Structure 1
Amino acid sequence: MRKITIILCLLSCLSSTLFAQKELTVGQTVSNIALLSTKGTVYDFRAQKSAKGFIVVFMTPTCDHCIMYEKRVMALDKKYKVKGFPVVAIGPYGDNPIKYPLDAMPEMKKLAVSKGFTFPYLTDDNFKYTFLLGIKQTPSAVVFQKKPNGLLIKYIGKIDDEEDEKKVPKNKFVEQVVNKMLQ
């Protein structure tokens, strides 16, 4: 009985490892992202014809760090949208108001309106892109470059190196990546 239990446990671990979706990394491509926005419509990345790429920021309404970054995220959108790299925010918990009532779509909508977000705020169904892109904390950014076969991942990580909104960051990681792509 003990051997059977051990074998079943090993098979279970092995099968979950084999069938788990592998995280994507810089240099890999996502065919497309299409998610429900706080405006009630589906935002389809490939349908954004004027975009050269996207600055995607994973953020939630109740995360203290996200709250401190709201103005910087809006500034990124203002600066780079006109250059073809709009900001798109994704709420990892947006589709689950039962488990995450303060971070789900109703609160995302309130936040987007009250802060005057100039960018789409999308909900990630069942953490699909959160897991696929290896997002472990918020806020986190992903920079995509639009290619004929999809969205090429150019960066995954922090927006910059300064969490305190009253201090000026020394390294603006997202801006550095996008500026290099615009050269």
Structure 2
Amino acid sequence: MKKLIGTLFMLFATALFVNAQEVKKVGDTLTNINLKSTNGVVYDLNQNKTKGCIIVFMTPSCDHCLAYVSRVLALNAKYQAKGFPVVAIGPYGDNEKDYPYDAMPAMKKLAQEKAFTFPYLADEKFKYTWLFDIKQPPKAVVIKRNKNGFLVTYIGNIDDEPNEKKVPKKRYVEMAVNKLLLIDVR
């Protein structure tokens, strides 16, 4: 009986946690991102006076993520001045013990070597990785500031070409941000 009660309690607690951490999908609102950056300060999305941002989930040991570094830098160069800068998140950034090749020291090294022009943040216990249901980086989330926080307008691939030597035919993130910029002009 004690085992049954213990199991029921664990299921109830898990259900509460899952509901508290509702998966964000297109159309949902994110209130803030508050994570430690590779430069040692805590990044607070609400403190930035931007129209929105492009969140890119990437890890230092993933070949696909590394292949996208120049494209992510280009996204930031193209959209930062238009109010949609890049903010990168390392899913394993806070766990050096279990993920030494993807934790904060490796993130700092990558950011310095590749001269990141955007914040690179260490996710805490996969909070935002799970929130956006990111299963395999690199993935992007485009958000737009609204009166309640940030509206999620896109979640998915950066483009349709994972090979860094080939030119993408469809640039999904650019299409999503350009659509938002067009709406702002009207």
What's the TM-score, normalizing by structure 1?
A: 0.92
CA–CA distance in structure 2, aligned partners of residues 117 and 96 of structure 1:
21
Q: CA deviation at 1:19?
A: 3.0
CA–CA distance in structure 2, aligned partners of residues 16 and 42 of structure 1:
29
The corresponding residue for 1:133 is 132
CA–CA distance in structure 2, aligned partners of residues 150 and 46 of structure 1:
8
Instruction: Kindly report which structure 2 residues correspond to 1:42-61, keeping only aligned pairs within 5 A, or say none.
Output: 42-49=42-49, 51-61=50-60
Instruction: Kindly report which structure 2 residues correspond to 1:83-98, keeping only aligned pairs within 5 A, or say none.
Output: 83-98=82-97
CA–CA distance in structure 2, aligned partners of residues 19 and 45 of structure 1:
24
Aligned length: 180
Does the residue aligned with 1:70 lie in a helix, a strand or coil?
Answer: helix
The corresponding residue for 2:110 is 111
Instruction: Kindly report which structure 2 residues correspond to 1:63-82, keeping only aligned pairs within 5 A, or say none.
Output: 63-82=62-81
CA–CA distance in structure 2, aligned partners of residues 69 and 130 of structure 1:
18
Q: CA deviation at 1:25?
A: 0.7
Q: CA deviation at 1:105?
A: 0.5
Letter in 2 for 1:111: L
Does the residue aligned with 1:125 lie in a helix, a strand or coil?
Answer: coil
CA–CA distance in structure 2, aligned partners of residues 8 and 37 of structure 1:
39
Consecutive unaligned residues of structure 2, counting only runs of 5 or more, are none
Q: CA deviation at 1:43?
A: 1.1
Q: CA deviation at 1:13?
A: 3.8
Q: CA deviation at 1:18?
A: 4.2
Q: CA deviation at 1:24?
A: 1.2
List, as ranges, runs of 4+ consecutive aligned residues in structure 1 with deviation greater than 6 Å.
none
The corresponding residue for 2:145 is 146
RMSD: 1.5
Letter in 1 for 2:34: A
The corresponding residue for 2:36 is 36
Letter in 2 for 1:19: F
Q: CA deviation at 1:8?
A: 5.7
Q: Deviations over 1:61-113 (max 9, x none)?
A: 00010011010000000000011100010001011110111101011001100
What's the TM-score, normalizing by structure 2?
A: 0.91
Letter in 2 for 1:36: K
Letter in 2 for 1:16: T
Consecutive unaligned residues of structure 1, counting only runs of 5 or more, are none
